Amino acid sequence: MDLRDSTEDAAFRQEVRAWISDNRVGEFAESGDVGGPGREHEGFEVRLAWERVLGDAGWTCLGWPVEWGGRGASIAQQVIWNEEYVRASCPARVGVFGEGLLGPTLIAYGSEDQKRRFLEPIRTGRELWCQGYSEPDAGSDLASVRTSAVLDGDEWVINGQKVWTSLAQWADWCFVLARTDPVSSRHKGLSYILVPMHQPGIEMRPIIQLTGTSEFNEVFFDGARTSADMVVGDVGEGWRVALATLAFERGVALLGHQVRFGRELDNVIDIARDRGLTTEPVVRQRLAQAWLTLSILRMNTLRSLRGLEGPLSTPEASISKLFWGTWHRDLGELAMDVSGMSSQILSSAPYQLAELQALFLFSRADTIYGGSNEIQRNIVAERVLGLPPEPKGSL
C-alpha cells in the first residue's frame, strides 16, 4: 500500500494548509482545538461561527457530490483534509452529524424535496443535527426501538424516549428511528423520520459524565410533531435506511482523530521523560506498544478505505471501533500510571480536571458508546469471520 501523496493530492494538501493558515486567525486561532469528544461543552459559539466560515468557503461536505454543494473529493483528499485540520489545531466541528451521517443518507435515500430543503443548510452550518437511535431498552439491540410515530392528518406525532443523544442541546433537527407500525416487532415497521427539535413536546435532560460535563442527553418526545413528508425512504423501511446511516460513519474522520491520539501519546511520553521513567523497562515497553499500536491503527484505517464508495462497510472497517476504543482506553490508564500520585489530585475546585485526567475518565466510555466492545466482537465473529451466531436466551 503506497501511502505517498499523488501529485494531485500533494497540491491539494498545500491548498488545505494555505487556506487554514490564512483563515484560522483571531478568535479561531486563540481558541485552538477547542471542543471534540469529551470536550463538547467547550466554546460552542466560536465553533459554530467557524463552521459557517468553513461552509461559506466550501470546506465542509468535501465528499458530497458537486451538485449538492460538495467538492466530489476523493477518499484520499478527505483523509488529507481531516489530518491537516487536526494538525493545525482548528476548533472541533459542530456539524458532524449533518455532514457525515444525515447528508449522505439523504443523498442516497432522500426525496428531491428533502435534499433541496436540508442539504444546503447542513453544508453552510445553518442547521445542526443529532441522532435519535438509542433508547433505554434499545442500545446495542437497536431493533428493539419503542418510540412510536402515528400519522395524524398530514403530520406524524412522536412519543417515546431517546438516550445518549450527543449534541442534542444545540441541534435544530433530529433524525429519529421510530416504530410506525404498532403491531410490528424487531426490524419491521420502523421508519426514519426527520423531526424539528425546537417545539413543544420535546424535552432534553443532560446526562452528567464522569468528567462532570455533559455532551450526551436524554430526549423525551411527548406529542412532538413533524410533517408527513419527513420520512426518509419508504414508511416501514427505516431499518434499511438506519443501517445505511451507520455505514456512512466510516474511517475518514477517524484519521483526524488519530492525529489527536498521537498528540495525547506525545504528552504521556513527555511526562514519562520528565519523571525519569523512560529508563524503566515496563514503562518503555508500554509506551512503545502504544506507539506501535497507534501506527497499526492508522494503517488499518487507510486499508479499510481503499476503493470505498457508498454506504458499505469493509471487513477492515468493522474492527476499527473495537481497535481504537480499546487503544484509547488503555492510553488513559497509561497516562495515569505515568503521572503517578499527582494523577489523583484535581487541578482546582470544585472539579477541574487536568487534560490527562479527563482523557482517562472520558476514554472509559470509548469501549461502550457506538457499540460496546462485546457487541463489536460479536459483529466481527458473525459477520466478518462467519462464525455461528451467539445463542439467544429465552425472554
Look up 249 and say whether it is catalytic: yes
Provide the grid cell at 26: 483571531
91 — phi, psi (to 5°)? -60, 145
Q: Grid coordinates 475518514 are at which residue?
A: 252
C-alpha span between 356 and 331 (Å, rounded): 10
Compute the distance between CA of residue 339 and CA of residue 324 in angstroms, rounded to an integer: 22
- Asked whether the beta carbons of 78 and 252 are under 8 A apart, the reply is yes
DSSP 296: H
* The three three-digit cell numbers of residue 193, written as one number: 423520520
Q: Are 78 and 201 in contact (CB under 8 A)?
A: no
Q: How far apart are CA 271 and CA 338, in angstroms?
A: 7
CB 27 within 8 Å of CB 46: yes
Give which of 281, 258, 267 is closest to 336, Cα–Cα.
Answer: 267
CA distance 164 to 369: 8
Query: E strands along the chain, which residues?
Result: 129-132, 148-152, 155-162, 173-179, 190-196, 202-207, 216-227, 231-232
| Residue owning grid cell 426525496 | 111
Per the DSSP assignment, residues forming a β-bridge with 221 are: 160, 202
Closest CA to 318 of 381, 369, 257, 368: 381
> What is the DSSP pairing of strand 231-232 with strand 216-227?
unpaired
201 in the Ramachandran plot: left (φ > 0), alpha (ψ -120 to 50) or beta? left
Q: Is the peptide bond before 104 cis (omega within 30 degrees of 0)?
A: no
Q: Are 342 and 274 in contact (CB under 8 A)?
A: no
Phi (first) and psi of residue 192, to 5 degrees = -105, 105
Which of 99, 215, 237, 249 is an active site residue?
A: 249
Active-site residues: which are they? Answer: 249
